[in-house]
Amino acid sequence: MPSVLVTGGAGFIGSHLVDRLLAEGAAVTVVDNFDRFYDPALKRRNLAAAATSPRLRLIEADICDNAALERATAGAHFDVIVHLAAKAGVRPSIENPLLYQQVNVSGTQNVLELARRLEVPQFVFASSSSVYGINANVPWSEDDPVLLPISPYASTKISGELMGHVYAHLYGIRFIALRFFTVYGPRQRPDLAFSKFAGHILEGKPIPVYGDGSTRRDYTYVGDIVDGVVSAISYNRSNYEVVNLGCGSPIRLMDMIRELETALGLRAVLSWLPEQPGDVPQTYASIEKARRLFGYRPKTTLPEGLAEFARSLAAGAAVTAAS
């Protein structure tokens, strides 16, 4: 297995990827600043098992601090960089677009410059289904020339994809942009729908439902996403690709809530609220390109993934009670 640098490796998707890479024998370096967007203690807990491995190195640094990145990685060798670190979330990006531009665009350029200086041949970038915006031509295909982003977050991800093309062209760095579609599962960020809804249901609080409940999302289990990322790490047949990683089967919000109720064994109380700026009516991935390039085949159904999610919540609650 290669030597891999993972930015944002203490986060939701990143920590699952780190666990997988270590299990497969890779040497892994994590760069994470433990941003206070949510409790840093949760991120440290995400890495608790990985931290016992002698093949893990943790660098606490901000991707916006180019000098710190240079110092921490001086003389290092990496076969691939997986760049997951970012300011996340559509709604917060509307409130603070300049911060999102700084972290997601300037920060990404810093990591690309790191790849150039260290002559890293492969760069895997976490993009987002948000780049498609309000494009009504579904399922969304990477070849569709129409991108209609409606949030600053989405625009920063498009910028990252385009910067990657520049570095692939000028410096020969193979750049693979992966457009993630509504990832869920254990360790999900507390601000995201599954975690927020589950917490409210378990506490008997109303869950906020924006709009009429008819919005549809291509919910994708984190284990399937990690399968796709691992495949992208070893991909070598072209120098630049943009690839959807989704489930390919969008589900209505109200149907998702019913499945979550089943997984938790509890009924939800709903609080109906107006639609939010920046939210898109649906996400729907064409995953044919991922199948063709990576052999990608998501295998986790929503009921299966939510059952695992519910088990992780119960296990976390038991640990908290014991401590």
pLDDT beyond 70 at 322: no
How far, CA to CA in Å, does 254 sit from each of 259, 261, 272, 294?
9, 11, 12, 32
Q: What pLDDT, on a 0 to 100 scale, did the predictor assign at position 276? A: 83
Is 153 among the residues known to form the active site?
Answer: yes
Q: What angle do CA 286, 91, 278 make, to 5 degrees?
A: 55
pLDDT tens, 191-238?
Answer: 899 999 999 999 999 999 988 889 999 999 999 999 999 999 999 999
Q: Which CATH number fits domain 3-322: 3.30.365.10, 3.40.50.720, 1.10.3720.10, 3.40.190.10?
A: 3.40.50.720
pLDDT of 278 reads 74
With 80 as the cut, is the pLDDT of residue 323 above it? no
Confidence of residue 145 (pLDDT cuts 50, 70, 90): confident
Q: In the chain, where are the structural domains located? A: 3-322
Judged by phi (left if over 0) then psi (alpha if -120 to 50, else beta), residue 27 lies in beta
CB 100 within 8 A of CB 128: no
- Full-model pTM: 0.95
Select which of 100, 153, 184, 296 is catalytic.
Answer: 153
Is the confidence at residue 100, as pLDDT, over 80? yes
Instruction: Answer yes or no: is pLDDT of 148 > 60.
Output: yes
Residue 185 is predicted with a pLDDT of 97
